[in-house]
């Protein structure tokens, strides 16, 4: 439980989840509201202003389930995504959250 809580408290986790829950393609595929699942998998390694994260975050909505896949590196105190997608479980459709007109950089 401590490990899951630690991953869920990271900026990169919170940002990925926030982007998915407001993305029109994700909302269309899963419905609203979109909620996070419990069993996050992957790893984060942060050492001050640098680090890396590779996460799989389960999400669901009234119409189905999906997974947010996050790959990011932290440099100079800022997360830079190398990949941020949602895969819809039923159709295997992949929605790129970096192409939503929002900057790829986060806190």
pLDDT in tens, 10-41: 889 999 999 999 999 999 999 999 999 988 89
Q: Give the closest residue to 59 by CA, choosing from 80, 45, 40, 79.
A: 40
Give me the mean pLDDT over the 57-62 stretch. 97
The structure tokens 């189905």 sit at 64
pLDDT of 71 above 90 = yes
Q: Where are the alpha helices (DSSP H) in the chain?
A: 2-8, 11-22, 24-30
Does residue 17 contact residue 26 with C-beta atoms inside 8 Å?
Answer: no
Return the DSSP state at 102.
S
Return the DSSP state at 76.
T
> What pLDDT score does 39 carry?
87
* Mean confidence (pLDDT) of the chain: 87
Phi-psi region of 48 (alpha: psi -120 to 50; beta: other; left: phi over 0): left
pLDDT of 107 above 70 = no
Quickly state the pLDDT bin for 99 (edges 50, 70, 90).
Answer: confident
**Distance between CA atoms of residues 49 and 2, nearest Å:** 23
């Amino acid at each position: 439980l401590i490990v899951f809580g630690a991953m869920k408290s990271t900026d990169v986790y919170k940002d990925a989840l926030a982007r998915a829950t407001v993305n029109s393609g994700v909302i269309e595929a899963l419905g609203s509201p979109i909620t996070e699942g419990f069993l996050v998998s992957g790893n984060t390694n942060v050492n001050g202003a640098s680090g890396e994260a590779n996460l799989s975050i389960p999400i669901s909505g009234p119409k189905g389930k999906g997974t947010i896949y996050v790959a990011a590196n932290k440099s100079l105190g800022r997360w830079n995504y190398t990949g941020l997608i949602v895969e819809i479980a039923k159709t295997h459709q992949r929605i790129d959250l970096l192409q939503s007109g929002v900057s790829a950089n986060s806190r």
